Amino acid sequence: MRLCRWIIFYLNTLALGSWAQEPGLANSGSPALTRPFLSRIRGLFDVELPQLDPPGTVKFILYPHISDLVRRDYVRTDVGFRWTLNDHVEFSTEGAAFLTHGFGEQATGNGIGELRYGLKYLIHESLPPDFEASANLSVTQPLTQRPIDLSDGYQHITPSVIIQRHSPNNRHLTVFTELSLDAISPSGKAGAMQINQPHNDFSSVTLGGVYDLGQIKWTLAGTYTTTALISSRAEHFFTSGPAYSGTCQKKLFSIPKPNGSSDSARRCRGAQTAIISSSTRGSAPRLPSAK
């Protein structure tokens, strides 16, 4: 019950903060006016860094799991979009689509097996130089018609707070930490738990860094997860691993100039397409449970 009341308070705080902020009051040097160098990609980089696109930007996400061609009878593809409402708030929605590729033994069909919704509130006030922070909330809801192993079959409500700092000595390096809670509840739909995944409500802390080389990003993060703080059964997990990602921006249209040249890069900022590469992630064995 205490966890439910905490989540309700968290939701109210995010809602009041987003409505209270008036557009145009943000500092012109705020992080919201610079493009984020790395967005969250599920399974590759599971952290919502505290950065936003310029207000009004809609960013489309396409992430096919290419390794599923040899590991599963279907290919998972995360599709969705991010919409920056103002200098403080971003809304996102994603669907976990699945498509039978024909190289496996079974035909699982095609469809969307899971929906995810996210809300990010950027914190500008009372932060030291080179620091940025955000409060985030995500909700995951599995759907009925899907392969069993596409998700764990639970509904997840996950509030989190993230702080990052840009290195004053290396302009390519950013370090971050994330504190999060995950309240899970049965959805009534079948699913399969993953290795090193808690079966109860849990809290976690993540420490990591991003090395930004432009279109190529290298990341390294470690996460400690425990159910001891908010569940009756104590379990402990630790996962870590490097990853890399590459992004490309698609030119949706081109506007000719009087001199014959075109100006498409500057005028396509309202819509983007990101195609993310696969990653390498490692995880340590499950730690013994507390007695």
**76-113: pLDDT as tens digits:** 889 999 999 999 999 999 999 888 887 767 777 788 88
Residue 217 within a domain: yes
Structure tokens at 89: 């708030």
Instruction: Please state the three-class secondary structure of 199-214 as a single string.
Output: CCCEEEEEEEEEEECC
Using the structure block, give the residue that is written with the tokens 């090395």: 211
Structure tokens at 120: 């990010």
Cβ-based neighbour number of residue 13 at 10 Å? 14
Using the structure block, give the residue that is written with the tokens 């905490």: 6
Average pLDDT for the chain: 74
Looking at residue 26, its pLDDT comes to 38
Domain count of the fold of the chain:
1
For residue 122, is pLDDT > 90?
Answer: yes
Residue 214 within a domain: yes
For residue 176, is pLDDT > 90?
Answer: yes
Q: Answer with the residue of higher pLDDT: 124 or 107.
A: 124
Mean pLDDT of 261-281: 36
Cβ-based neighbour number of residue 207 at 10 Å? 14
For residue 24, is pLDDT > 50?
Answer: no
Strands 271-275 and 58-64: parallel
Residue 238 within a domain: yes
Residue 177 within a domain: yes
Domain holding 175: CATH number? 2.40.160
C-beta of residue 121 within 8 angstroms of C-beta of residue 15: no
Looking at residue 19, its pLDDT comes to 39
Confidence of residue 118 (pLDDT cuts 50, 70, 90): very high
C-beta of residue 63 within 8 angstroms of C-beta of residue 45: no
Using the structure block, give the residue that is written with the tokens 């739909």: 189
Kind and range of the H or E run holding 19: helix 2-20
C-beta of residue 280 within 8 angstroms of C-beta of residue 242: yes
Q: What is the pTM of this model?
A: 0.69
Lowest mean pLDDT among 32-36, 45-49, 178-182, 192-196: 32-36
Using the structure block, give the residue that is written with the tokens 């309700």: 8
Strands 58-64 and 216-226: unpaired
Q: In this structure, what are the phi and psi dihedrals at residue 99, rounded to the nearest 5 degrees?
A: -140, 120
Residue 25 within a domain: no
For residue 36, is pLDDT > 80?
Answer: no
Residue 191 within a domain: yes
Residue 277 within a domain: yes
- Structural domain for 10, as ranges: 2-17+32-283
In total, the chain counts a number of residues equal to: 291
Residue 290 within a domain: no
